[in-house]
């Protein structure tokens, strides 16, 4: 089932174009964009709602601050998330999905459902539900 891309003009650098022109297939392109250590987890969290940096960090407790920051910057560079800085003291930064990022939510949700079933198949508790509920607080 084809995914509809939003009708926006991508911001593409020369380096980005070269990177993607060298890929062999669309699956490689997909993994090049979402295949980071915590990218799927970040996108999953933002499919739930807009979050501040600390909320995302609580949602993904194993991510180091440097790794989380790097992954957020890459997702922003790939136009999947937006970083909004509010001019208040102390500064407030929120992350949310772009239209392009939102187009991944049904896919990520399907992966989550598959993972639920797999945990059940293995007889293992799904800790994501606990973490997801903790992130809602």
Has residue 14 been placed in a domain? no
Distance of CA 120 to the CA centre of its chain: 24
Q: What pLDDT score does 94 carry?
A: 97
Cis previous bond, 90, omega within 30? yes
Has residue 17 been placed in a domain? no
Model pLDDT for residues 70-111, shown as the tens digit of each residue: 999 999 999 999 999 999 998 899 999 999 999 999 999 999
Q: What is the average per-residue pLDDT within 27-47? A: 93
Has residue 7 been placed in a domain? no
> Which residues fall within 8 angstroms of residue 51, CB to CB, at 6 or more apart?
45, 59, 94, 95, 96, 135
The whole domain housing 63 covers: 26-133
Cα–Cα distance between 97 and 1 in angstroms, integer? 22
pTM: 0.83
Has residue 5 been placed in a domain? no
Has residue 114 been placed in a domain? yes
Q: How many secondary structure helices (H) and strands (E) does the chain include?
A: 8, 3
* Residues 37 and 71: beta-carbon distance below 8 Å: yes
Has residue 2 been placed in a domain? no
The total of structural domains in the chain comes to 1
Strand (E) or helix (H) holding 69: helix 65-77
Has residue 15 been placed in a domain? no
Cα–Cα distance between 130 and 128 in angstroms, integer? 5
Domain of 66, CATH number, reads 1.10.10.10
- In DSSP terms, 82 is beta-bridged to 96
Model pLDDT for residues 4-27, shown as the tens digit of each residue: 766 767 777 888 788 888 888 889
Has residue 8 been placed in a domain? no
Q: 137 pLDDT exceeds 50? A: no
The Cβ of residue 44 has, within 10 Å, a number of other Cβ atoms equal to 20
Question: What b/e sequence results for 86-122 when a residue is b if at least 16 CB atoms lie within 10 Å of its CB, and e otherwise?
Answer: eeeeeeeeebebbebbeebeeebeeebeeeeeeeeee
């Amino acid at each position: 089932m084809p995914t509809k891309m939003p009708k926006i003009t991508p911001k593409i650098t020369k380096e980005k174009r070269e990177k993607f022109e060298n890929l062999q297939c669309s699956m490689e392109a997909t993994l090049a964009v979402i295949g980071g250590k915590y990218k799927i987890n970040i996108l999953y969290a933002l499919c739930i709602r807009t979050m501040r940096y600390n909320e995302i960090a609580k949602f993904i407790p194993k991510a180091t601050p440097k790794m989380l920051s790097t992954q957020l910057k890459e997702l922003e560079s790939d136009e999947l998330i937006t970083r909004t800085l509010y001019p208040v003291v102390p500064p407030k930064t929120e992350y949310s999905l772009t239209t392009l990022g939102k187009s991944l939510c049904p896919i990520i949700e399907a992966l989550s459902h598959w993972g639920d079933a797999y945990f059940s198949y293995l007889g293992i508790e799904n800790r994501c539900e606990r973490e997801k509920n903790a992130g809602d607080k």
